[in-house]
């Protein structure tokens, strides 16, 4: 069993252990990978455990892979819990009710019928987020409806659909056209002919739009996304309803085969994966999923190319760099700032800490990637890569060290560059914010508190498990004893009250006689 740490609710602190007494939720790789995980409406669930620093893990449980808030998906099951046949049947019925109302084939048939309608009959319900055929009009008479849906609008469904903005479930922040155009030009310059778009609907549609408008563009695209609404706008070979947190294809083997064929075409040559996961999601399951997609691509490779890697652009905030590189050591972070149309903060053109923190992590060599000079990026001949204007080369670190677009300062005591707002603390013996707490979070082991290893590799983990198991049993015995005493006491109290009531009734009868 391998354990992977993620402190829920502390996105920017991803990868840091919590302070003494604090807790975190870890995703756990099951001891028996062959045993299937229970299913929720979003596919196979993930195994988690809650841990506290200085204490051993508690009881393990299954929860939804895609939703961090149980209000969005209330699935919960203890790992060792045995469910009755009735509960399993009820769960299966619930999962079926939560699936999209139309099958993939029905969506395709409706789309083919829709595009043959005259313009005046092409309608879209904004409340139900659904393309309407004439037979549907009566059901949506009281709903806000967009009429005269053009072919141009059908080609840009991300502008027709309302973005999903639940940050804990499926936050859907869409690339600004500036970032999309940069990515398309870059992919074309690098010579890629196929793009696997994992959670990047706007990039997918603009690639297809350019291919239909420009005969010279030969780039193809396949979108994998958890938003089933896109099923209305694409044929089976262009879109797969997919959960990137558990590598689940909702339409089964047929959709899996579409993805496999796309990745393995031309023996896997000329393809790249571009992914833009929700920023509140766990890094660990994403990395596991991406490795499964890489393995799928590798099966189409010839033996001569077995050493090659699937090119990837993983778009994520810069403060996840250490976590991403932990799983993919060959990845490097680019300075390019990705911005979004419908996000209040992640906008291009802002300066200082107000600028977008979103970057591109890639295994494509940075010296091959040209960033737009007109936006302030420049080529550093020493680093052999493009960097932002404020990112100055440090002669002591021998690198352009800034991560957030500001000029960083070199600390000779820490022997590295740090953020300009940080100062060196003589108590902590490292740089931090001026108003930081010296007793604040420190990296280290949740079990023994040592700083040279993490909980998953702690030499005391086995002993701690045994001790903690004994403590849990003792607590359980005390709890059972308390319940029995409480029940007994309640029973005695009830008998006493009954006796008093009868005496009172007899006295009342005597006085009234």
- Decide if 503 contacts 510 (C-beta within 8 A): no
Residue of higher predicted confidence among 478 and 344: 478
Q: DSSP readout, 476-494?
A: HHHHHHHHHHHHHHHHHHH
Residues shown for the chain: 513
- Decide if 417 contacts 397 (C-beta within 8 A): yes
d(C-alpha 108, C-alpha 324), whole Å: 37
In the chain, the domains with their CATH numbers are 23-98 (no CATH), 100-149 (3.30.160), 166-369 (3.40.50)
Tokens 């302030």 locate to 376
Task: Say how many Å lie between the first and final Cα of the chain, rounded.
Answer: 79
pTM of the model: 0.80
Q: How far is CA 217 from CA 52, 191, 207, 239, 512, in A?
A: 54, 11, 9, 20, 104
Burial group, residue 22, by CB count within 10 angstroms (0-12, 13-18, 19+): middle
Burial group, residue 194, by CB count within 10 angstroms (0-12, 13-18, 19+): buried
Give the list of residues 6+ apart from residue 79 with CB closer than 8 angstroms, or none.
Answer: 47, 59, 60, 61, 62
Summarize the confidence of residues 154-178 as an average pLDDT.
77
Return the pLDDT at 214.
Answer: 73
Residue of higher predicted confidence among 487 and 39: 39
| Closest among 386, 319, 318, 336 to 181, alpha carbons compared | 336
Per the prediction, the chain carries an average pLDDT of: 82
d(C-alpha 488, C-alpha 179), whole Å: 69
- Using the predicted structure, report yes or no on whether residue 33 has a pLDDT greater than 90: no
d(C-alpha 177, C-alpha 17), whole Å: 38
Tokens 């200082």 locate to 352
Residue of higher predicted confidence among 362 and 482: 362
Q: Which two tokens stand for residue 320?
A: 């996840």
Rounded percentage of the chain residues whose pLDDT exceeds 90: 58
CB atoms within 10 A of CB 503: 10
Among 22-31, 138-147, 314-323, 420-429, which stretch is predicted with the lowest mean pLDDT? 22-31
Rounded percentage of the chain residues whose pLDDT exceeds 70: 74
Q: Which two tokens stand for residue 413?
A: 């005591």
Among 54-63, 215-224, 270-279, 429-438, which stretch is predicted with the lowest mean pLDDT? 54-63
What is the tens place of the pLDDT at every residue in 412-442? Answer: 999 999 999 999 998 888 999 998 888 654 5
Return the pLDDT at 355.
Answer: 76
Return the pLDDT at 507.
Answer: 46
Return the pLDDT at 274.
Answer: 98
Tokens 């010579």 locate to 191
Q: Which two tokens stand for residue 420?
A: 């300009």
Q: What is the CA radius of gyration of the chain?
A: 29
d(C-alpha 275, C-alpha 66), whole Å: 16
Q: Quickly state the pLDDT bin for 501 (edges 50, 70, 90).
A: low
d(C-alpha 415, C-alpha 430), whole Å: 10
- Decide if 27 contacts 59 (C-beta within 8 A): no
- Decide if 198 contacts 73 (C-beta within 8 A): no
CB atoms within 10 A of CB 377: 19
- Using the predicted structure, report yes or no on whether residue 213 has a pLDDT greater than 60: yes
Q: Quickly state the pLDDT bin for 183 (edges 50, 70, 90).
A: very high
CB atoms within 10 A of CB 219: 18
- Using the predicted structure, report yes or no on whether residue 315 has a pLDDT greater than 90: yes
Q: Quickly state the pLDDT bin for 383 (edges 50, 70, 90).
A: very high
Among 129-133, 177-181, 305-309, 488-492, which stretch is predicted with the lowest mean pLDDT? 488-492
Helix (H), strand (E) counts: the chain: 10, 26
β-strand partners of 49 = 26
Summarize the confidence of residues 441-455 as an average pLDDT.
54
Cα dihedral 410/416/420/421 (nearest 10): -130
What does DSSP assign to residue 17?
A: P
d(C-alpha 235, C-alpha 257), whole Å: 14
Q: Could you give the angle at the alpha carbon of 308 between the alpha carbons of 306 and 309, nearest 5°?
A: 125
- Using the predicted structure, report yes or no on whether residue 172 has a pLDDT greater than 70: no
- Decide if 447 contacts 458 (C-beta within 8 A): yes
- Using the predicted structure, report yes or no on whether residue 471 has a pLDDT greater than 80: no
Give the list of residues 6+ apart from residue 108 with CB closer than 8 angstroms, or none.
Answer: 231, 235, 236
Return the pLDDT at 385.
Answer: 95
Return the pLDDT at 7.
Answer: 34
Q: How far is CA 507 from CA 66, 187, 331, 495, 497, in A?
A: 67, 95, 88, 19, 15
Among 35-44, 191-200, 473-482, 488-497, which stretch is predicted with the lowest mean pLDDT? 488-497
Hey, which of 10-19, 59-68, 228-237, 487-496 has the most confident mean pLDDT? Answer: 228-237
d(C-alpha 257, C-alpha 237), whole Å: 10
What is the tens place of the pLDDT at every residue in 78-124? Answer: 988 999 999 999 999 999 999 998 999 999 999 999 999 999 999 99
β-strand partners of 175 = 340
Q: Which two tokens stand for residue 244?
A: 């990137």
């Amino acid at each position: 069993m391998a354990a992977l740490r993620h402190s829920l609710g502390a996105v920017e602190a991803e990868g840091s252990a919590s302070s003494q007494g604090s807790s975190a939720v870890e995703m756990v790789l099951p001891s028996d990978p062959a045993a299937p995980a229970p299913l929720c409406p979003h596919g196979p669930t993930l195994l988690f455990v809650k841990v506290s620093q200085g204490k051993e893990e508690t009881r393990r449980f299954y929860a939804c892979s895609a939703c961090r808030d149980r209000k969005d998906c209330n699935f919960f099951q203890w790992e060792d819990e045995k469910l009755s046949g009735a509960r399993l049947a009820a769960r299966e019925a619930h999962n079926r009710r939560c699936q999209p109302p139309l099958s993939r084939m029905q969506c395709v048939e409706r789309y083919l019928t829709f595009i043959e309608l005259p313009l005046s009959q092409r309608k879209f319900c904004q409340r139900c987020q659904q393309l309407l055929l004439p037979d549907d009009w009566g059901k949506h008479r009281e709903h806000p409806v967009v009429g005269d849906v053009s072919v141009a609008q059908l080609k840009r469904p991300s502008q027709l659909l309302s973005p999903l903005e639940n940050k804990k479930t499926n936050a859907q922040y869409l690339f600004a056209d500036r970032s999309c155009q940069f990515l398309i030009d870059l992919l074309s310059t690098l010579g890629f002919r196929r793009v696997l778009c994992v959670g990047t609907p706007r990039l997918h549609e603009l690639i297809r739009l350019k291919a239909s408008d420009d005969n010279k563009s030969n780039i193809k695209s396949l979108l994998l996304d958890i938003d089933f609404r896109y099923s209305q706008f694409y044929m089976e070979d262009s879109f797969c309803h997919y959960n990137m947190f558990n590598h689940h294809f909702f339409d089964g083997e047929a959709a899996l085969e579409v993805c496999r064929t796309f990745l393995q075409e031309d023996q896997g040559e000329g393809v790249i994966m571009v992914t833009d996961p929700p920023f509140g999601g766990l890094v660990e399951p994403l990395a596991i999923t991406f490795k499964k997609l890489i393995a799928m691509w590798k099966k189409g490779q010839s033996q001569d190319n077995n050493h090659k890697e699937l090119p990837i652009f993983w778009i994520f905030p810069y403060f996840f760099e250490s976590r991403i590189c932990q799983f993919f050591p060959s990845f490097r972070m680019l300075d390019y700032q990705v911005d979004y149309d419908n996000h209040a903060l992640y906008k291009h053109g802002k300066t200082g800490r107000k600028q977008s923190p979103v970057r591109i992590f890639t295994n494509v060599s940075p010296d091959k990637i040209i960033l737009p000079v007109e936006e302030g990026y420049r080529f550093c001949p020493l680093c052999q890569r493009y960097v932002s204007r404020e990112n100055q080369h440090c002669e002591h670190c021998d690198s352009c060290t800034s991560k957030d677009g500001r000029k960083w300062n070199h600390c000779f005591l820490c022997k590295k560059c740090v953020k300009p707002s940080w100062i060196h603390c003589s108590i902590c013996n490292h740089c931090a914010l001026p108003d930081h707490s010296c007793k604040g979070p420190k990296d280290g082991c949740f079990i023994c508190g040592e700083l040279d290893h993490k909980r998953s590799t702690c030499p005391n983990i086995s002993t701690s498990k045994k001790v903690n198991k004994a403590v849990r049993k003792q607590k359980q015995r005390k709890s059972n004893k308390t319940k029995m005493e409480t029940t007994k006491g309640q029973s005695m109290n009830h008998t006493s009250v009954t006796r008093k009531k009868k005496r009172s009734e007899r006295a009342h009868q005597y006085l009234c006689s």
